[in-house]
């Protein structure tokens, strides 16, 4: 068997390349833990009341028994009105309905760590900051 070719892509890696790599990971994981990719991604959207255009919200996904909140975005003019708490509450409701044991997420130092902690999330990991590196926190809430 010939060894594979290592192809280094320094910029603009394609989404297809990412999909191909994830496919290999999923195949490997299925051999160890069975198929778990049956739960689809979910979203809780904030829509403009006039145009119905998506203007923010929460995007989550299956995290192998946990819900993972990948994105949460509230437009600046709507911050401080309780929308973030409502989005997280909806994600937790979805997670419970799916039988997950909790929700996890990550946030950078300049984002919303105190907000999540106020909602009962606890830090379980961190990446330190430094030159060209912003501190990043990993938080979870177990049900």
pLDDT-derived band of residue 63, with 50, 70 and 90 as boundaries? confident
Identify the bridge partners of residue 68 per DSSP, sorted by sequence position.
Answer: 61, 104
pTM comes to: 0.82
Hey, which residues does 103 pair with through a beta bridge?
67, 141
Identify the domain containing residue 96 by its residue range: 38-142
- For residue 133 the two structure tokens come to 């590196």
pLDDT of residue 37: 52
Instruction: Determine the pLDDT at residue 30.
Output: 76
- Segment 5-35, tens digit of pLDDT: 999 999 999 999 998 988 888 788 777 776 5
How far apart CA 59 and CA 69 sit, in angstroms, is: 6
Cβ neighbours of 103 (radius 10 Å): 26
Kindly state whether residue 100 falls inside one of the protein's structural domains.
yes
The verdict on residue 23 lying in a domain is no
Q: Could you tell me if residue 130 is inside a domain?
A: yes
Residue 106 lies in a domain: yes
Query: CATH no. for residue 116?
Result: 3.40.630.30
Give the tens place of pLDDT for each residue, 114-129.
999 999 999 999 999 9
Question: How would residue 88 be classed by pLDDT, with cut points 50, 70 and 90?
Answer: very high
Domain count, the chain: 1
Residue 32: inside a domain: no
Residue 85 lies in a domain: yes
């Amino acid at each position: 068997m010939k060894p594979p070719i290592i192809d280094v892509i320094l910029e603009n890696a394609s989404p297809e390349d990412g999909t191909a790599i994830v496919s290999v990971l999923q195949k490997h994981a299925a051999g160890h833990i069975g198929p778990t990719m049956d739960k689809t991604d979910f979203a809780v959207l904030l829509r403009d009341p006039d145009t119905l255009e998506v203007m923010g919200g929460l995007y989550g996904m299956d995290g192998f028994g946990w819900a993972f909140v990948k994105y949460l975005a509230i437009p600046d003019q709507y911050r401080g009105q309780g929308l973030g708490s409502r989005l997280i509450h909806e994600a937790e409701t979805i997670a419970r309905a799916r039988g997950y044991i909790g929700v996890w997420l990550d946030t950078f130092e300049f984002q919303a760590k105190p907000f999540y902690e106020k909602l009962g999330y606890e830090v379980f990991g961190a990446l330190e900051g430094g030159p060209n590196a912003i501190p990043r926190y990993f938080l979870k809430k177990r049900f």
